[in-house]
Amino acid sequence: MRMRVSLLVMAVGFAAISSAQTPSSVALTGQVTSAEEGRMEGVLVSAKKAGSTITTTVVSDDQGRYRFPTPRLQPGQYSLQIRAVGYDLEGPGSVEITPGKTASADLKLVKAHDLASQLSNTEWLASFPGTEQEKASIRACTHCHTLERVARTRYDADKLTEIVQRMSTYPQLSFPMKIQKLLAPRIGGGEEPLEQRLEGWRRQAQYLTKINLSSSPHWGYSFQTLPRPKGRATHVIYTEYDLPQRTRQPHDVIVDSEGMAWFASFGEQILGKLDPKTGKVTEYQVPLLKPQAVTGSLALRFDEDENLWLGMQFQGGVAKFDKKTEKFRTWSLPPELNGDYVQVNQVSPDHHHVDGKVWLQDAGTYTVLRLDVKSGKFEVFEPFKIPRPNIYDVISDPQNNVYFTVFGRDQIGKIDAKTGKITLHQTPTRNSAPRRGMLDSEGRLWFGENRADRIGMFDTKTEHFQEWPAPTVGSWPYDVIADKNGEAWSGGEFSDRIQRLDPKSGGIVEYLLPRFTNVRRVWVENATTPVTFWVGNNHGASIVKLEPLE
């Protein structure tokens, strides 16, 4: 066959050659090499068809060979990109895929022109000088933007103090493409004196001047990079779907029994549906309950009928979307519970048929609430007195009792649905910050230990904990989900890596994602074999599908 390559690519050595003239199971193949390493394993190669919203990515094997299966690349013109920290593709490339033929393109990599632009948040934290306490003080920056953005600033401590103080008035759903401001701070943690807050902002600003470019045009520390994938971690295909607008933040992505991927936009009143076969996105406008309040939804969960429920955050309520009628129904907190500080992030309707009640959480007061769907009345449960630790997720069991994660400390709590009794269980690792999770069919509660850098599991039958450290230090797992095979999957905001845990052996495979991905909620589609993993790129306005090949 004949493959067209741009003149620029030809000039800089992106080699393309003709290959088999007969139909093949491979649409595009080639070898990745560099002068420094020769044949390179673990390089992510991405192909995107001109005019398409879908990008497909494969990973080179131990011989540096990459292969795109024929069904994944339809005929047409494609652009190619790579991810391999420390390297650039020697010139941008384009390749034409022709029906019934295998295209071949060898990729030559050169040392990166701007290594800083390639670092993940984990790599930045590993590179920064300073104590663990100092580094921990800026980890929350990643809720809204990358650490690269901070490291490239040239502000001094005075200016940075002003900036940090201003950013403290933004909710965690703000990001550079859409900034919103809080109407009121949270009250659950108690009131912090202004002098104490100013002192904290000043300390944070002073540390930032040690890692930014305020005193020199060059960083005074060397960059630490993570190794590329190898072995099983290269046996994977990724598909990334662009969303309609850059302001979309698919914080939670879940997949229904028909294979449709649903997402809630973190900073907008939008519920979206993606058809993975076509890439078509359908969006539904979520009702506005408090017009002056910050917009957006966080939690997105199915009930027993596969209707979708949303935690409406600063809108002060929850919403149910009926898939058949495509209509919303909402429930607002009563006025006495619905101050400007309210932030209903989480909702758990999974077992509401048991008693007609739905559990939710308020991040403004750090309390757990229960909604009677029929009457619209809310009950409030206070596991702690003010100043309270942050209660993050609520997860119901088959009896519609609820488990909750104490992100502000290191506990898993339970509220008995019939008696209201509250019990607390301490994780083995102190200050572990359990964040989000799920309950599997065996009664095991899986969750991310966000400050302990571990995957956690609490057996609700034996009340026994088990923990597995993330292979990459600084992954800080946000969420965990178990699949039909008993394996657990996790990810976080820092390393751009997805962990796949085999609890029996303790082995963990880490899959590097094709680009910077602010990972929040994770999901596994069990209808496929092998299972399919899904996650939203919360700051990249896309949804990523990960298909392990074994």
Q: Are 146 and 516 in contact (CB under 8 A)?
A: yes
Check if 7-113 and 231-548 are the same fold: no
pLDDT for residue 3 is more than 80: no
* CA geometry: angle 23, 24, 28, nearest 5 deg: 115
Q: How far apart are CA 191 and CA 444, in angstroms?
A: 36
| Neighbour order of strands in the sheet with 327-332 | 300-302, 308-311, 317-322, 327-332
Per-domain residue ranges for the chain?
Answer: 7-113, 116-211, 231-548
pLDDT for residue 1 is more than 50: no
Task: State both tokens at 28.
Answer: 């595009």
Separation in Å, CA 378 to CA 75, 373, 401: 56, 9, 16
Q: What is the pLDDT of residues 294-310, one digit of tens each?
A: 999 999 999 999 999 99
Q: What is the mean pLDDT of residues 23-52?
A: 95
pLDDT for residue 20 is more than 60: no
Q: What is the pLDDT of residues 276-286, one digit of tens each?
A: 999 999 999 99
Whether the model clears a pTM of 0.85, i.e. scores above it, the answer is yes
* CA geometry: angle 306, 307, 308, nearest 5 deg: 110
Q: Are 234 and 61 in contact (CB under 8 A)?
A: yes
- How many Cβ atoms are within 10 Å of 170's Cβ, its own excluded? 16
Q: How far apart are CA 43 and CA 45, in angstroms?
A: 6
The CATH number corresponding to 7-113 among 3.40.50.300, 2.60.40.1120, 1.20.120.330, 3.30.565.10 equals: 2.60.40.1120
Q: What is the pLDDT of residues 401-446, one digit of tens each?
A: 999 999 999 999 999 999 999 999 999 999 999 999 999 999 999 9
Separation in Å, CA 394 to CA 348, 413, 425: 6, 9, 15
| Amino acid code (one letter) for 164 | V
Q: What share of the chain is helix, strand, coil (3-state, %, to 5)?
A: 15, 40, 50
Q: Is-cis flag, bond preceding 387, omega within 30? A: yes
Q: Going by C-beta distance under 8 Å and a sequence separation of 6 or more, which residues neighbour residue 159?
A: none
The torsion angles phi and psi of 337, rounded to 5 degrees, stand at: -110, 0
Superfamily of segment(s) 231-548: YVTN repeat-like/Quinoprotein amine dehydrogenase (2.130.10.10)
Q: What is the CA radius of gyration of the chain?
A: 24
Please report the pLDDT score of residue 91 as a whole number.
83
Q: What is the mean pLDDT of residues 373-379?
A: 98
Report the run of H or E that residue 31 belongs to, with start and end: strand 26-34
Task: State both tokens at 91.
Answer: 């010139």
pLDDT for residue 92 is more than 90: no
SS (H, E, C) 307-371: CEEEECECCCEEEEEECCCCEEEEEECCHHHCCCCCCECCEECCCCCCCCEEEEEECCCCEEEEE
